[in-house]
Amino acid sequence: MTTTDIQPILDRVLAGERMTAEECTTLLESDDIARIGVAADEVRRRKHSSGVVTYIIDRNVNYTNVCNVVCTFCAFYR
């Protein structure tokens, strides 16, 4: 994948447009991680101008295959 293939996609994203599934696939298959990262950082800065951004990695370790939390999105709910 060449770098010119992704620029129109990045331009549309930076203009506030949503990506199609095909465009997402193009970015995922691209080797140009740096330009994708720069564009993603620009979108992040526009959405969170305070500079404070948090991330969470939520690991819910269940020691059995039964959970009583009753959230239906999880494979452990029965």
Instruction: Write the pLDDT tens digit of every residue in 5-45.
Output: 899 999 999 999 999 999 999 999 999 999 999 999 999 99
What own/partner pairs with CB < 8 Å and gap ≥ 24 does 10-15 have? 10/35, 10/36, 10/39, 13/39, 13/43, 14/39, 14/42, 14/43
**pLDDT band for position 58 (50/70/90)?**
confident
